[in-house]
């Protein structure tokens, strides 16, 4: 964005849209393509936006917007995007991960199951995602076991969170430090919880 700001005002909207919707920034790709640290890259984007005039910010977008949207873009788009980029630079995004979106972890979708009475077992992700967590424990250095029991059927399952690399092992350690707080919470909520590194 900072390299071609004048020619691509839609880039500003794209950045605002992704950050405003809490979509994670892929730090590794940014650092590889920009050949600089993630924070330095964000700072360059912020500086480029701060130098940009609000006049002309509708170029390339105006024909897509109604009058109310145009007024919002003129007044707020640049300012709000700067705010969101500053939040990202302060690690709001760069130091947060979810199990669901982490490249360093994989997790059970269709769980392996254990019996909890005759013919009671969980066999699909749709069954397990809303099941309350009963226990989270470490199986070994690279694996966590999450025991869930469906609150509607009583079906039981062991789900697994596994690391794919050294960074994943670090992320598992962060998860296990917070494990007790997830008892009674849904498996899906656990997978999408934002953990702070």
Domain shared by 106 and 176, yes or no: yes
* Confidence class for position 52, pLDDT limits 50, 70, 90: confident
Instruction: Name, in order, each residue with C-beta under 8 angstroms of 69's C-beta and a sequence gap of 6 or more.
Output: none
Domain shared by 43 and 67, yes or no: yes
Give the pLDDT confidence score for residue 117 in this predicted structure: 41
Domain encompassing residue 151: 97-196
Domain shared by 90 and 141, yes or no: no
Domain shared by 79 and 143, yes or no: no
The domain tally of the chain equals: 2
Distance CA 91, CA 89 (A): 5
Q: Are 187 and 127 in contact (CB under 8 A)?
A: no
Q: Are 135 and 173 in contact (CB under 8 A)?
A: no
Render pLDDT for 17-31 as a digit per residue (tens, 0 to 9).
888 887 878 888 888
Q: Are 44 and 2 in contact (CB under 8 A)?
A: yes
Q: Which of these three, 94, 111, 128, is where a domain ends?
A: 94
Q: Which of these three, 94, 129, 144, is where a domain ends?
A: 94
Distance CA 1, CA 82 (A): 12
Secondary structure string (H, E, C) spanning 152-189: CCCCEEEEEEEECCHHHHHHHHHHHHCHHHHCCCEHHH
Render pLDDT for 102-150 as a digit per residue (tens, 0 to 9).
888 998 875 554 433 433 444 555 667 788 999 999 999 999 999 988 7
Domain shared by 162 and 115, yes or no: yes
Domain shared by 132 and 104, yes or no: yes
Backbone angles phi, psi at 110, to 5 degrees: -105, 100
**Given a cut of 80, is residue 65 above it in pLDDT?**
yes
The whole-chain average pLDDT of the chain stands at 81
Domain shared by 58 and 25, yes or no: yes
pTM over cut 0.75: no
For 88, 99, 128, the CA distances from 96, given in Å and listed in that order, are 10, 10, 25
Domain shared by 111 and 44, yes or no: no
Q: Which of these three, 44, 65, 94, is where a domain ends?
A: 94
Domain shared by 85 and 157, yes or no: no
């Amino acid at each position: 964005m900072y390299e071609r700001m004048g020619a691509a005002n839609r880039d500003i909207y794209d950045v605002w849209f992704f950050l405003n919707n809490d979509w994670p920034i892929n730090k590794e790709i940014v650092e590889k393509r920009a050949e600089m640290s993630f924070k330095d890259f964000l700072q360059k984007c912020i500086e480029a936006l701060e130098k940009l005039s609000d006049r002309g910010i509708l170029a390339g977008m105006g024909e897509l917007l109604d009058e109310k949207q145009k007024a919002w873009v003129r007044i707020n788009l640049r300012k709000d995007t700067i705010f969101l980029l500053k939040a990202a630079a302060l690690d709001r995004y760069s130091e947060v991960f979810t199990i669901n979106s982490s490249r360093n972890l994989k997790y059970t979708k269709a769980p392996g199951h254990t019996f909890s009475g005759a013919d009671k077992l969980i066999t699909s992700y749709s069954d397990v995602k809303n099941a309350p967590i009963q226990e989270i424990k470490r199986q070994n250095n690279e694996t966590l076991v999450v025991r869930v029991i469906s609150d509607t059927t009583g079906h039981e399952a062991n789900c697994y969170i596994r690391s794919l690399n050294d960074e994943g092992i670090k992320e598992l350690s962060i998860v296990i430090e917070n494990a007790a707080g997830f008892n009674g919470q849904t498996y899906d909520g656990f997978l999408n919880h934002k953990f702070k590194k």
